[in-house]
Amino acid sequence: MANAVPVADFLVLPPRLDRTAEMLAESARRRGMAVEHLSSPVVPARLQHSAGGHLYGGPTFAAAVAPDLDLVPLEPADDWLPQLPYEYTHRDIALTTLGEARWSRTPMFVKPPRDKTLPAGVYVDGSRLPGDERYPADTPVLVSEIVTFLVEYRLFVLDGMVHAASRYAVNGRLDPAPLDACAHRAAVLDFAAGLLDACADSLPSAVVVDVGLASNADRGDEHWAVVEANMAWFSTSYAANPDQVLDVVLRAAGPRHRLTLRDQAFTRPPTPFPGTGRSGSSPMS
């Protein structure tokens, strides 16, 4: 079957829309982009192999539609967080497997590196981790010592600089606010500047980094630290400017022919998409 005639840049959205997707759609339309809200994770023939596709949605959706759209979602490496210098994490973090973590007999915080396949949280020991067939022993997880984040911020990073930002939590509870309205604005940007200056080459050109003011009860101190890194095309914008967020999303999941040499390291080999015989460029959720 012949390839369809390429169309102008467009944004593809999944069947279920959250508020971020709705705001990104509005922003895309304001700048003259078409918005394609799919009713299922199947790309219409008229869009297949088009030259200007972008997406916002979860990993399962991305795995289903990215091949037919010939676009490449960028994602940080699983080991990015544990590889950071201690001055940016202020806690011990290890990338391991769920099977290994189940042997631990000490309290720990456990989360998946990127996909939200496993409930992230504090576990009193490894025996409390999920053990059913949904979570095989080789599932990658990040295991860290327990710290409390007093306030947390989401940074949408583009080309090594903060392009959009928002507070999203206070004392572990959702509390979004624009960064410019926050008392910690200067401290957040100062910490982010140092982090990105030292570590930008280890991240995609478009990515989300969460940071926060952490407290360690055992040490009795407070410090700015990285919470985690996430895919921009699968991150809630909270109170960040949607036009600026869209800039990052479009770069983070865009046409393969625009992929730069530096970003090639932040793509994954295609993986089978269940039940289709096709491949996707992102892992399943």
37 within domain boundaries: yes
265 within domain boundaries: yes
For residues 224 and 171, membership in a common domain is answered with yes
For residues 100 and 174, membership in a common domain is answered with no
Task: Report the pLDDT value the prediction gives residue 139, as an integer from 0 to 100.
Answer: 79
Number of domains in the chain: 3
For residues 51 and 187, membership in a common domain is answered with no
For residues 140 and 154, membership in a common domain is answered with no
- Amino acid at site 256: R
Residue 65's nearest CA partner among 51, 49, 81 is 49
127 within domain boundaries: yes
210 within domain boundaries: yes
5 within domain boundaries: no
- 3-state SS class at 234: helix
Query: What's this model's pTM, rounded to 2 decimal places?
Result: 0.86
Residue at which a domain ends, from 205, 230, 255: 230
Task: Report the pLDDT value the prediction gives residue 122, as an integer from 0 to 100.
Answer: 82
**Rounded to 5 degrees, what angle do the CA atoms 71, 77, 78 make?**
125
Task: Report the pLDDT value the prediction gives residue 217, as an integer from 0 to 100.
Answer: 65
Angstrom distance (rounded) from CA 142 to CA 118: 11
SS3 for 44-67, per residue? CCCCCCCCCEEECCCHHHHHHHHH
Full residue range of the structural domain in which residue 60 is found: 10-74+245-280
List beta partners, residue 97. 140
Residue 3 per-residue DSSP state: P
If one compares 268 and 48, the residue with the highest pLDDT of the two is 48
pLDDT of residue 194 exceeding 80: yes
Backbone angles phi, psi at 6, to 5 degrees: -60, 145
102 within domain boundaries: yes
For residues 128 and 40, membership in a common domain is answered with no
Name the burial class of residue 122, with classes exposed (0-12), middle (13-18) and buried (19+) by CB atoms within 10 angstroms of its CB: exposed
- What mean pLDDT value characterizes the chain? 86
165 within domain boundaries: yes
Q: Give the tokens for residue 76.
A: 């940080």
Task: Report the pLDDT value the prediction gives residue 218, as an integer from 0 to 100.
Answer: 65
Task: Report the pLDDT value the prediction gives residue 181, as an integer from 0 to 100.
Answer: 96
For residues 263 and 187, membership in a common domain is answered with no
Task: Report the pLDDT value the prediction gives residue 101, as an integer from 0 to 100.
Answer: 72
For residues 85 and 190, membership in a common domain is answered with yes
The answer to whether 146 and 123 have CB atoms below 8 angstroms apart is no
For residues 160 and 122, membership in a common domain is answered with no
15 within domain boundaries: yes
For residues 97 and 109, membership in a common domain is answered with yes
In Å, how far from its chain's centre is CA 218?
Answer: 30
For residues 85 and 178, membership in a common domain is answered with yes
Residue 142's nearest CA partner among 123, 127, 156, 157 is 123
Task: Report the pLDDT value the prediction gives residue 106, as an integer from 0 to 100.
Answer: 79
Residue at which a domain ends, from 144, 165, 183: 144
CA of 149: how far to CAs of 46, 152, 210, 213, 248, in Å? Answer: 47, 7, 11, 6, 26
pLDDT tier at 120 (50, 70, 90 boundaries)?
confident
pLDDT of residue 255 exceeding 80: yes
Kind of pairing between the strands at 53-55 and 10-13: parallel
CATH code (residue 194): 3.30.470
Question: Which tens digits make up the pLDDT trace of 128-186?
Answer: 777 777 778 877 888 778 888 999 999 999 999 999 999 999 999 999 999 999 999 99
Task: Report the pLDDT value the prediction gives residue 239, as an integer from 0 to 100.
Answer: 98
pLDDT tier at 220 (50, 70, 90 boundaries)?
low
pLDDT of residue 282 exceeding 80: no
For residues 126 and 140, membership in a common domain is answered with yes
For residues 196 and 216, membership in a common domain is answered with yes
